[in-house]
Amino acid sequence: MSIVLASFEGVECVSSFQEIDTHVFILNSIRKSCSCPSCGHLSSRIHSRYIRVVQDLSIQQMSIHLQLQVKKFFCDSPTCSTRIFTERFAWLQSYQRKTNRLQNLLQQIVLSANCVTASKVTELLRFHTSHDTLLRLLFKMELPTPQNLIRIGIDDFAFKKRNRYGTLIVDQDTRRPITILESREKEPVAEWLKQHPSIQMVSRDGSISYASAISEALPHAQQVADRWHILKGLFDALKESVNQHIPANWKKTEYVQPNEPIPVVRKTDSLRESHEKQVWERSQKVQEFVRQGRKIAWIARQMKLSRGTVYKDLQRKQKPDFRRNSILDSFFFCHSALEHRRKNCR
């Protein structure tokens, strides 16, 4: 019994078997004819058949391999130089051992990380690919061709510091790099700019070679300084203006230590003084209610106090002092008396 797979056009599944962590599908081509890739002539004369082993996306932690039987056809066109050709499939490129959807997934992975890390990720996804293969895949990718460039930025960078420098060109609208030139000299930059006459504005640094290259290749383009050099120029101008109004040498001011010690206010002292103030204000309010003829029970309910606290507030005649007494306080009086007696004896 054969099964036609919707994902793989032009083939049918004949059978399948499972190995250790691998599932293999046997596929046969169902095409009766095929067009020659060179001249487009439709041919139905079969030359031979052979087996291609192709890897596909994994399913449920199982690596998927396809054993595909492919046909070779004769090209009967007398004007075509190709005599024998292999049939093509839309989901599989020529000479490839991975399906197109697996190739696209590998491209996304290798663009998101370095090749060594991407190789470890593919091993976890059950379609292990070496970092060398991923590197070759990366080099085969075609870079998007920039079209209708309007605003670009040019700056130099170091391949090897103090030895070899290049030029990086960036699209200011998309903020993506366009190309990298092997040198920062005038000639290669001017040659590249002449190939893009639609450019209207170029952001650059203070390089003379870049300025002359832009003026030669794009005389109509507006040249502006990049953000870093604008801020640097602003800082240099501000620094020069400040130096004109402020002397470079300052007179040293001698610091005179005051004779009186600076009082040190502890955090606990400030909290205690704040609490004393709140208690004294509350006591005055309670005494005012009593003078108005209010009863003790009413005052306690109104101010949410106990009756004992209300009676204490009524007896308070001055601001309270909640400082704790020290065990050394009793000796301070003796010390003061001795000091007073010593002074009188002199």
**Residues in contact with 229: Cβ distance below 8 Å, sequence separation at least 6, in sequence order:** 205, 206
Per-residue pLDDT of 251-302, as tens digits, reads 666 766 667 666 666 778 888 888 999 999 999 999 999 999 999 999 999 8
What is the residue-averaged pLDDT of the chain? 87
Q: What is the widest separation between alpha-carbon atoms in the chain?
A: 141
pLDDT band at 128 (very low <50, low <70, confident <90, very high): confident
DSSP state letters, 49-71: EEEEEEEEEEETTEEEEEEEEEE
Segment 51-72 mean pLDDT: 91
Segment 72-101 mean pLDDT: 91
Instruction: Calculate the CA 122 to chain-centre distance.
Output: 24
Q: What is the pLDDT of residue 3?
A: 55
Q: What is the pLDDT of residue 20?
A: 84
Task: Please say whether the beta carbons of 312 and 280 come within 8 A.
Answer: no
- 6 token code pair: 């919707």
Per-residue pLDDT of 208-245, as tens digits, reads 999 999 999 999 999 998 888 899 989 999 998 888 88
* Model confidence pTM above 0.85: no
Per-residue pLDDT of 18-49, as tens digits, reads 888 899 999 999 889 999 999 999 999 999 99
- Give the residue from 266, 28, 81, 278 showing the smallest Cα distance to 286: 278
Q: Say which DSSP state 183 is in.
A: -
CATH of 151-229, one of 3.40.228.10, 3.40.50.170, 3.30.420.10, 3.40.720.10: 3.30.420.10
> What percentage of the chain carries pLDDT values higher than 90?
50
pLDDT beyond 50 at 1: no
pLDDT beyond 90 at 200: yes
| Burial label, 56 (beta-carbon count in 10 A; 0-12, 13-18, 19+) | buried
Please indicate whether residue 331 or residue 7 has the higher confidence score (pLDDT).
7
β-strands 46-59, 151-160: how paired?
unpaired
Segment 145-161 mean pLDDT: 89
